[in-house]
Chain A
Amino acid sequence: EVKLVESGGGFVQPGGSLRLSCAASGFTFSGYWMTWVRQAPGKGLEWVANIKYDGSEKYYVDSVKGRFTISRDNAENSLYLQVDNLRAEDTAVYSCARGRDIDFWGQGTLVSVSS
């Protein structure tokens, strides 16, 4: 059974940082691109970033470039998103998803940015 379980979210002040994690199981993690998606409260889905199966290519939405860093550890079957210099508009549920075209999602972890 494919599973993606996110963790690491929380409440943080503007300018703060968090490291989000996604534990993958039930598939060959090292064979897939992986994606982070976010959804602000009451809003639509927003593609955030993705990373190639070997970590050699990474792409970001313009609004997070220079502040967020996607990475992975294939030995640990884990995906990460380091989120720095957080802004109020980054408040959202962050979900990891399998593939660039996305065929499976996790339930997400909430990041809330407020003073």
Chain B
Amino acid sequence: SYELTQPSSVSVSPGQTARITCTGDVVAKKFTRWFQQKPGQAPIVLIYRDSERPSGIPDRFSGSSSGTTVTLTISEAQVEDEADYYCYSAAENNIWVFGGGTKLTVL
């Protein structure tokens, strides 16, 4: 299937660890990246190749992969981390797909 499934929302208190999952057959075969989108802004890359972090991204953001699930972990979540998070991966036949997005609330 070409679908990537994410929880619609995750809520944590400041300083706690937030975990956002992304599940789909494609993630077992292809690398996944994670984007963060804040209101009115273009998304930015948080994680690429399942677990690599671009320069400038705080190390409290990390990624992991196991079977058909990839996970974005935000350690010691801060209020400024409130945003929508999307996973993204290549599906079959050169088609790419986004997960449905997860709204992270930190309060």
Contact = CB atoms under 8 A, between A and B. Distances in A.
Interface of A: 35, 37, 44-47, 50, 57, 59, 61, 95, 100-103, 105-108
Interface stretch (B15-23, B56-64, B67-75, B88-96): B88-96
B96 A46 contact: no
Given A45-B101, A103-B45, A59 B86 contact: no
B96 A47 contact: yes
B36 to A, nearest CB: 12
A101 B48 contact: yes
B97 interface: yes
Interface string B75-107: 000000000101010100111111111000000
B100 to A, nearest CB: 5
